[in-house]
Structure 1
Amino acid sequence: MNSKLASSDLNVLAKKVLLNYWLAPAHLVIIQNEGLKTLWKFKDKEQTFCLKRLRHSIDKAAFTVNAQIHIYNNQGKVPKIYLNKDNEPITEHEEQLFVLYEWIEGRDLNFSLPSDLAIAIKGLANFHLASKGYTAPDHARISSKLENWPNQYESMAKRLEKWREEAVSKQQMPSFQAYLSCIDEMLEIANMAIEEIKKSSYEKLTGIPLQECTLCHQDYGEGNVIYSNDILYVIDLDSTTYDLPLRDLRKIIGKQMQNLSSCNEEKIMSILKWYEEVNPLSQEYKKILIIDLMYPHGFFGAVKDIFKKSKAISSSKIKGAATFERKKLQLLKNLLQKVD
């Protein structure tokens, strides 16, 4: 299987695949080609389509593709998936996987604009609501993060601790000096969050059948939403998994706080207000969201590539990530008391 074909060869490949849909477009445009993942845009009889070559295995693709079909059928705002002549959503051709979608024409959102952010948050809430009730096909590999947060927290804390040993052996380098200067405090925050999640209702809220749970996008951001005719469409569901809706919310709130370089209670409450206009959250859910925000995910993300990929990271970036974790801690402690 060769994923690095010339544009002309890629278009020949796409035309062969599209015969499975009784489509024979005269002209195709490659709009993305990154490794195996490729996107083609084309028109047929005045209708615009998007053909996507997937990078996942068939069992993993079966989970996410059928999840999108479920969300669409449940009135969720995602692109329609077209079935091939065998009535299947995934077409296998030359050991490669392809899916045909409707093309959504619209504009990107700018999450730094409050008006656009509000649209995005309400769209996320709608996505979560429409995702409930999904039963994956038997041949799909189930993706679920339910009941896993405490284990994930502890695993990340252990890696931070292990990396300290490596940093000690390389402490003559500024980046490792920076890591050592703040790791004790970061582990203290991590352990605080671990203690809080274990005391919370997390186990009760996640001990449910998968079909009663929401699906999380996991990569919800400016690049994966399209605003068209006053409707927010969610695209690129390749990382979809069963989980509490709080995972997507925590990532958005955390990124917003980092981008603003401030830990702002007003921003958090605005995001929650927009979300709850569509999908209300219980106090138990809000408490778990605050705990998840408290965990030093940002610091972990900032330093992991030094140790996992031997990638150079500046000491200022490491210290900046630690400073951010310190700044948001007091705010989140105060919020935690309010929802207790």
Structure 2
Amino acid sequence: MEETTGLESEHLKKVLSFYPFEVSNIILQSSRSGRTIWEVETEEGLKILKQAHMHPKRMLFIAGAHLHLLQNGLPITKIHNTKRGGFCIGSGEYAYVLYDKHQGKEVIYYNKEQLEKVLIYAGKFHQASEGYIPIQESKIRGRLGKWHKLYRWKLQELEGNKRIALSFPDDVFSTMFLEYVDKMLARGQRALQEINDPYFDQWTKEVIASNSFCQQDFTLARFAEIDDAMFMKELHSITSDLPVRDLRIFLNKVMKKMSVWDTNLAIHMLSAYDSENSLSEKQFRVLWTDLSFPHLFCAIAHKYYLGQKRSWSDEKYIWALQNIIALEDSKEEFLQNFSDIYHEIKSNSGGK
């Protein structure tokens, strides 16, 4: 942690003057990926000031959702209004929010009990999100009704990356990529066909009508375990989408860290979620479809051929690709045994 510089300190004091607190100290905690976090000492305890490089109207959408979750009883840090009742502050290309700082037990990806609690929390999150009506000035983000377009775009890009790889026969990454790309393209095309099922559109309309949202990324660094339960320290972002998107992203993230798809762990996690927010068989089938689509494979190819991670060595890219291939190979058995796994999830969760 670092003390703030003079010019920065004056700007932050101006931002904080909009809030009803007496500030005694400001300490920089972190700055990365367009977001900067400061710890703020006040007469009412420690607060967190977050600066995000985003349109203030987009932050208004997120901050309003944060308040909605809090009002619906979700264990999440208190977000503070300005003296005039605003959810956030806009300053040029940046937006600011202020919320309470909480400390608890660290949440990690290799703790099965904590993963179970995170999935229970995810179920509560999706339920608490229902009925959110953003204020008129908000800049809304949503993916509902866009799955077909997104799948097609990723598959087209994968085809394009295949053509690029063919022009580099001596490139180790490209050689590995070409050995696997046709299998991933076929899986992606099957997934695209599966979301043509009439139920997919029906569920999309139901979620639109519910005015619910997804968290987008249940990164564990944003959680603390307090009194044996999960507590969200920060709401990073939201989007309007089917709840299974959050499940797909989190399952893929956990399994990628393990370099293998652990079916028993996946069942354990999904049973925990289903015990709190029960999904129907058709809704679980949509999750299976999204898990079968090669999101991770598309992402690593996108990063490599666009040179997005300039700090990565060739060896790191190759390791990342090997990891994803191993994960997708080991996922096959899970994907092909939907019926048995679905019934096991329902048995574990109470059969709701």
- With over 3 angstroms needed to count, the CA separation of the structure-2 counterparts of 1:153 and 1:337, relative to structure 1, is farther
Q: Which residue is equivalent to 1:254?
A: 252
Q: Which residue is equivalent to 1:175?
A: 173
Answer yes or no: is 1:324 the counterpart of 2:320. no
CA distance in 1, matches of 2:198, 2:110: 32
CA distance in 2, matches of 1:232, 1:133: 23
Comparing 279-288 and 33-42, the one that deviates more = 33-42
- What are the ranges of 5 or more consecutive residues in structure 1 without an aligned counterpart? none
Kept after mapping to 2: 8 A contact 1:213/1:243: no
Q: TM-score, normalised by structure 1?
A: 0.90
Q: Which residue is equivalent to 1:34?
A: 32
Which residues in structure 2 correspond to 1:2-41 (within 5 Å)? 7-34=5-32, 37-41=35-39
Kept after mapping to 2: 8 A contact 1:186/1:322: no
Q: Which residue is equivalent to 2:45?
A: 47
CA distance in 2, matches of 1:146, 1:279: 20
Q: Which residue is equivalent to 2:130?
A: 132
Deviations 1:3-61 (A, max 9, x none): xx963432322222221113232212211223752222123224221112221102211
Kept after mapping to 2: 8 A contact 1:213/1:244: no
- With over 3 angstroms needed to count, the CA separation of the structure-2 counterparts of 1:169 and 1:231, relative to structure 1, is same
Q: Which residue is equivalent to 1:166?
A: 164
Q: Which residue is equivalent to 2:75?
A: 77
CA distance in 1, matches of 2:6, 2:34: 16
Which residues in structure 2 correspond to 1:59-78 (within 5 Å)? 59-78=57-76
Partner amino acid for 2:65?
A
- With over 3 angstroms needed to count, the CA separation of the structure-2 counterparts of 1:105 and 1:95, relative to structure 1, is same
| Local SS of the residue matching 2:75 | coil
Partner amino acid for 1:187?
L
| Local SS of the residue matching 1:48 | strand
CA distance in 2, matches of 1:265, 1:34: 34
1:185 pairs, out of 178, 183, 187, with 183
Q: Which residue is equivalent to 1:122?
A: 120
Query: In angstroms, what is the RMSD of aligned CA positions?
Result: 2.3
Kept after mapping to 1: 8 A contact 2:49/2:99: yes
Kept after mapping to 2: 8 A contact 1:64/1:239: yes
Instruction: Quote the sequence identity (%).
Output: 23
Q: Which residue is equivalent to 1:280?
A: 278
Kept after mapping to 2: 8 A contact 1:76/1:131: no
Answer yes or no: is 1:147 the counterpart of 2:145. yes
- With over 3 angstroms needed to count, the CA separation of the structure-2 counterparts of 1:183 and 1:94, relative to structure 1, is closer
Residue correspondences, number: 336
Deviations 1:131-180 (A, max 9, x none): 11111111111111112222211211111001111111222222112222
